[in-house]
A and B are shown apart, each in its own frame.
Chain A
Amino acid sequence: AQSVTQPDIHITVSEGASLELRCNYSYGATPYLFWYVQSPGQGLQLLLKYFSGDTLVQGIKGFEAEFKRSQSSFNLRKPSVHWSDAAEYFCAVGAQGLKAAGNKLTFGGGTRVLVKP
């Protein structure tokens, strides 16, 4: 069974400082990995995804993530945080290949990011 762990429930960071959110996954094969962001009362917005190839993935809003197979990790980073980055962040894992069209996406518990002025 696939699973995702986000060890940090809350992270507080100063505006302009760097941010790293941790994500560890468990999956029997090569996974699809995603990071989503959710503002209060809103839906989920895709920040970036990893399917294959280059293990450093660039996303929207200046975010990037690195896939490390040996550590089963897919950590999210941003060099300089803006106040608008305050939100809930979810890491998720899904199945690769054609089965992904109709397979479940499993989410981690989420990390709430607070940005101090």
Chain B
Amino acid sequence: DTEVTQTPKHLVMGMTNKKSLKCEQHMGHRAMYWYKQKAKKPPELMFVYSYEKLSINESVPSRFSPECPNSSLLNLHLHALQPEDSALYLCASSRADDGYTFGSGTRLTVV
């Protein structure tokens, strides 16, 4: 299995909702990432997990809460988002001697 799987592919949520994005990989990669991508912009790093521990948080607002339950799963919990948080959320995984593999993303719309 050489893929990173993200669910759901599309999500529409209200500003008072709580939702979660899920990411799964079975390549044995011990680093996993969340990136946010606005339209016509490059991906911007949000969080890095290394060996299931949060190693980098790029000053992301607390309404985004990451979780790494095990070495194959990465979640992003969303609460009280703003319309400007609407974006494509990309998950990725990597290992030291290889490249980064990205999922196809979750298109999030906050209404």
Give A contacts to B, CB under 8 Å: 32, 34, 36, 41-46, 49, 51, 90, 94, 97-110
Contacts and interface: CB of A to CB of B under 8 A. Distances in A.
A44 B92 CA distance: 9
Contacts of B56: 102-104
Given A101-B94, A102-B56, 10 more contacts: A36-B102, A43-B102, A43-B105, A45-B102, A46-B101, A100-B94, A100-B95, A101-B95, A102-B51, A104-B45
B107 A101 contact: no
Contacts of B45: 104-106
Contact of B99 (A49, A109, A110): A49
B42 A34 contact: no
Query: Which 3 pairs, one residue from A and one from B, show the smallest C-beta to C-beta distance?
Result: A102-B50, A107-B42, A43-B104
A34 B30 contact: no
B74 interface: no
Contacts of A97: 96
Contacts of B50: 101-102
